[in-house]
Structure 1
Amino acid sequence: MPSRQKRESNVMDLSDGERLIILMLADVSKTLKLKGEMDPEFIANMIFNDTLWAIRWKYHGIPFSTDDDPPEVSQTCDILDLWMFLEDGYKQLSKADKERIKSEAAPFGENVVFRGFDGNHEAKMLSVARVLIDDLGRWPQFRGRELNAHARTVDRYLRMCRAFESIRPRLDMRSLNADEIITILRAQKHA
Structure 2
Amino acid sequence: MELSDAEKLILTMLCEVHQHLDIAGAVDPKFVQSALHSGNTWGLRWKYGALYDGNARSDPPIVKEVVRILDMWSAIEDGYDALQSLDKDRVAASISPRQCEVKFLGFDSDTEFEHANIASFLIKDMQRFPKFAGRDIHSHLPSISIYRRMVRAFESLQKLIGKGRLNTDQLIALLNENTGPRCNFLKLV
With structure 2 as the length reference, what TM-score do the two structures score? 0.90
1:168-187 equivalences in 2 (<5 Å) = 168-187=158-177
Work out whether residues 108 and 185 of structure 1, in 8 Å CA contact, stay in contact via their aligned partners in 2. no
Please point out which of 15, 23, 32 is paired with 1:34: 23
CA distance in 1, matches of 2:130, 2:50: 22
How many corresponding residue pairs? Answer: 179
Task: Specify which structure has the bigger relative contact order, considering alpha-carbon pairs within 8 angstroms and separated by 6 or more residues.
Answer: 2
Work out whether residues 101 and 109 of structure 1, in 8 Å CA contact, stay in contact via their aligned partners in 2. no
Aligned-pair CA distance for 1:172:
3.8
Specify every segment of 5 or more residues in structure 1 that has no aligned partner in the other structure, as ranges: 1-11
Q: Aligned letter for 2:5?
A: D
Q: Secondary structure at the match of 2:35?
A: helix
Work out whether residues 46 and 52 of structure 1, in 8 Å CA contact, stay in contact via their aligned partners in 2. yes
CA distance in 2, matches of 1:172, 1:47: 36
Q: Secondary structure at the match of 2:170?
A: helix
Please point out which of 40, 46, 50 is paired with 1:57: 46
Work out whether residues 34 and 125 of structure 2, in 8 Å CA contact, stay in contact via their aligned partners in 1. no
1:125-164 equivalences in 2 (<5 Å) = 125-164=115-154
Work out whether residues 15 and 29 of structure 2, in 8 Å CA contact, stay in contact via their aligned partners in 1. yes
Task: Give the fraction of aligned pairs with identical amino acids, expressed as a percent.
Answer: 37
The aligned residue for residue 185 of structure 2 is none
Aligned-pair CA distance for 1:110:
4.3
Q: 1:113 to 1:146 in 2, by over 3 A?
A: same
Q: 1:121 to 1:35 in 2, by over 3 A?
A: same
Q: Does 1:75 align with 2:75?
A: no
Q: Secondary structure at the match of 1:138?
A: coil
The aligned residue for residue 5 of structure 1 is none
CA distance in 2, matches of 1:120, 1:62: 35
Specify every segment of 5 or more residues in structure 2 that has no aligned partner in the other structure, as ranges: 181-189
Aligned-pair CA distance for 1:42:
0.8
Q: Does 1:87 align with 2:47?
A: no
Work out whether residues 121 and 152 of structure 1, in 8 Å CA contact, stay in contact via their aligned partners in 2. yes
Work out whether residues 29 and 40 of structure 1, in 8 Å CA contact, stay in contact via their aligned partners in 2. yes
With structure 1 as the length reference, what TM-score do the two structures score? 0.89
Work out whether residues 123 and 129 of structure 2, in 8 Å CA contact, stay in contact via their aligned partners in 1. yes
CA distance in 2, matches of 1:99, 1:108: 16
Worse overlay, 58-67 or 74-83: 58-67
Q: Aligned letter for 1:171?
A: I
Aligned-pair CA distance for 1:67:
1.1
Work out whether residues 103 and 109 of structure 1, in 8 Å CA contact, stay in contact via their aligned partners in 2. no
Work out whether residues 116 and 147 of structure 1, in 8 Å CA contact, stay in contact via their aligned partners in 2. yes
Q: 1:108 to 1:99 in 2, by over 3 A?
A: farther
Worse overlay, 36-45 or 61-70: 61-70
